[in-house]
Amino acid sequence: MAPAQALKPKLQQVTEISRIVEATSAHEVRRRKRGDKRGTHKLTLFDLDHTLLNGDSDVLWCDFLINEGVLERESFAARNADMETRYQAGTVGVEEFANFYVGTLAGRSPKDWELLRQAFLANTIVPRISPAAMRLVSQHLDAGDLVVMTTATNRFITELTAIYFNIEHLIATEPQVADGVFTGLSTGTLNMREGKVARLAQWLTLSGQRLSDFSSTAYSDSINDLPLLLAVDHPVAVDPDPKLRSEARRLGWEILHLAR
């Protein structure tokens, strides 16, 4: 069990994140009203980690919990680094990857984690979001696009990030909850590799739509998102890893460099 102080971030951190959430939620309501009037047939999909974010949310979450004393550095740091390396190489198993990181939530309720989640956003995530990334998302929102954040990272630790970006729609790996407590396992189709295409199709079906109904654009840095990039009309490789860069050049895709 972590020491009590590890679960109590400073009050000013919570106050700041509450201000962020309130401000962005109000902005989102105004934006959605504008979008409803304009109508849209453009769908824009944003990967999160190393695309909009200068870093990987899962890895950063583990580092954050280690620093907070929630996870043991000796037993967890090396496993975290190994998982990151194999993910970037595109060699890690989908279930292994998802359950490793969702497993950090096991045994506690969403309420138990909430203060730490807010501190994680305020102190770890927000400083790694560049003005260029914010501008790119805002351009698509202001144009009236249907904007979706789609990430292999689990919903619980990314939904506040989506709010910070003013993105209403989030498709993410879903952590399983039983009797109000995280089990440490994921549930449903994992939102990674081909799973991102499947989850997108499922999400669109809920509103009676298909990907072919839209002029679609996807932004990603990772070879793991090749299936999604191949599925859309306008793939954009953002500061891509070596494997994705090679594919983007071969296929003539746009390569975007975001100032970090």
Residue with the bigger pLDDT between 91 and 72: it is 72
pLDDT over threshold 90, residue 80: no
Average pLDDT over residues 118-123: 97
> Of these residues, 49, 58, 221, 225, which one is catalytic?
49
Which DSSP symbol is given to 128? G
For residue range 151-183, what is the model confidence (pLDDT) as tens digits?
999 999 999 999 999 999 999 999 999 999 999
pLDDT confidence of residue 11: 44
Helix (H) or strand (E) holding 174: strand 169-178
Helix (H), strand (E) at residue 171: strand 169-178
- At 239, the pLDDT band (50, 70, 90 cuts) reads very high
Q: List the catalytic residue out of 47, 56, 63, 225.
A: 47
Report pLDDT for 15: 52
Choice between 169 and 33, residue whose per-residue pLDDT is larger: 169
SS3 115: helix
* pLDDT attached to residue 259: 79
Examine the pLDDT at 137 and tell me if it is beyond 60. Answer: yes
**Residue 49 designated active-site:** yes
**3-state SS, residue 219:** strand
Higher pLDDT, 209 or 9: 209
Mean pLDDT of 30-56: 74
Q: What would the mean pLDDT of 113-136 be, rounded to a whole number?
A: 97
The per-residue pLDDT for 237 is 98
Structure tokens at 200: 């997108």
Tokens found for residue 176: 């399983």
Hey, what CATH class is 27-256 in? alpha beta
- Going by the DSSP 8-state scheme, the letter that residue 105 receives in this structure is G
Instruction: Report pLDDT for 91.
Output: 72
From the list 174, 167, 155, 231, the residue with the least C-alpha distance to 198 is 231
Q: Give percent of the chain above pLDDT 90.
A: 69
pLDDT (0 to 100) of residue 31 = 41
- 94 has a pLDDT exceeding 70: no
Q: Which amino acid is at 227?
A: P
47 is catalytic: yes
| pLDDT greater than 60 at residue 35 | no
Cα Rg for the chain, rounded, in angstroms? 18
The mean pLDDT value of the chain amounts to 86
What is the pLDDT at residue 171? 98
